[in-house]
Copies of this chain bind each other. A is one copy, B any other.
Amino acid sequence: MAQQEARQRRPSIHDVASHAGVSAATVSKVLAGVITVKPENAQRVFDAVERLGYRVDPLASDMRRAKRRIIGAIMPEFESEFFGSMVTELEGLAEQRGYTLVAASSRESEAREKEILARMHDWRVAGVVLAPVRNEHGPAAAFMKAHGMTGVLIDRVLSDDAFDTVSADSFAASAEVARMLIGNGHSHILVIGLAEQAATVRARLEGFRSQALALNPSARIDVITSEVSVEPLRSSLRDYFGRGERPTAVYSLLLKGTLVALSEFRRRGWHCPNDISLVGFDDAEWMQVTWPAIAAVVQPVRQIASEAMNLLFRRVEGDAGPPAARLEPCQVLMRESVGSPGNGPHSGGGDRQQPPLS
């Protein structure tokens, strides 16, 4: 079709102009949809574009504007389903608006987060969707403020005085989990999480605890958190069980914690839900195919992404209203990993198939 001798230098707007017998300015106007061009000339431009297979160079096109048609996205990691689909959604939404999404992984490092942001500032991105490693008070958000960048904070964040925020309604979802566990008769529950992700994890903890104690004031809610990474959490958990603590249910405030809990159950030969119940914040595809299926809180990825982009583009277009703080409702999927206590609690070891690992 229209590509003749491609592979060489791509045609520029001037090539189109000369083929159409008009000036480059006219070509630009036609392509931008300006109506003050004689229909005859417009047609000749379209023909030339078609014949040469011309496409606008987005880089050159962006040169003259202060804000380029680029959106930056910074996620703590790409390896999980949650952030993976978040990036996919954001990419689609940016694309719909004619923007290019440039995604980067901060790899759970605030230092890297700031570096990436500086690089995005170099690119003069129109806006940034930042999922901070820790919370809204990190150096990255400060950098954005200091340089007058427009952006939206998502996920591990509750509200901010400078930026719009969008996250899952951790508090409500955790309260829902509490209702289900307490309703099932659990009165000694262990909650595990990473404290460093302050904002949301705290909301998850408080949402759970307040609802649980409201429903059963004598319930015992133990909490194990680790400041830094997931490994200390694992050893704390091991110590906890090693001391003889025997909660009838565990609620993990984050996906990695759910994995840690499961692997500790394995070590001890405990099975869900007979020996102990388990609910995790954050769903994953595999959780419905394992035996038992793992109960989980599903975060509304699409809604978060869509709301974040809406707010972001409102800002890009100049809205200067006060920052919004959106909470999107979650869905709690009760699965087989949750049962009632006393159905055969703590049989003391793998009673079939596998011996407990050393």
A residues in contact (CB < 8 Å) with B: 3, 6-10, 55-60, 62-63, 66, 68, 77-81, 83-85, 87-88, 91, 100-105, 107, 118-119, 121-124, 146-148, 259, 262-263, 265-266, 271, 274, 284-293, 336, 351-354
Whether the pair B289, A262 counts as a contact (CB closer than 8 A) is yes
Chain B residues near A265 (CB-CB < 8 A):
291
Given known contacts A148-B6, A148-B7, A266 and B289 CB-to-CB distance under 8 angstroms? yes
B289 touches A259 (CB 8 A): yes
Q: Quick check: A118 and B336 within 8 Å, CB to CB? A: no
Q: Which residue of B lies closest to A118 (CB)?
A: B55
Inter-chain contact B68/A77, CB cutoff 8 Å: no
| Contact present for A147 and B78 (CB under 8 Å) | no
Residues of the B chain whose Cβ atoms lie less than 8 Å from the Cβ of A104: 91, 101
Cβ of A259 and Cβ of B271 under 8 Å apart? no
A84 touches B88 (CB 8 A): no
The chain B residue sitting closest to A262, CB to CB, is B289
What is the bound-complex CA distance between A352 and B105, given in angstroms?
43
Given A3-B146, A56-B122, A259-B285, the answer on whether A79 and B68 have CB atoms closer than 8 Å is no
**How far, in Å, is A59 (CB) from chain B's closest CB?**
6
Are the C-beta atoms of A58 and B105 separated by less than 8 Å?
Answer: no
A146: chain B residues at CB < 8 Å are 3, 6-7
Known: A56-B122, A59-B123, A266-B291. A88 touches B105 (CB 8 A): yes
- A286 touches which of B85, B284, B336 (Cβ 8 Å): B284
Q: How far is the CA of A146 from the CA of B146 in the complex (A)?
A: 46
Inter-chain pairs besides A103-B103, A284-B286, 18 sampled, C-beta below 8 Å: A7-B148, A57-B124, A59-B62, A59-B63, A77-B84, A78-B88, A79-B84, A79-B88, A80-B81, A84-B84, A91-B104, A100-B123, A265-B291, A266-B289, A274-B353, A286-B290, A292-B354, A336-B354
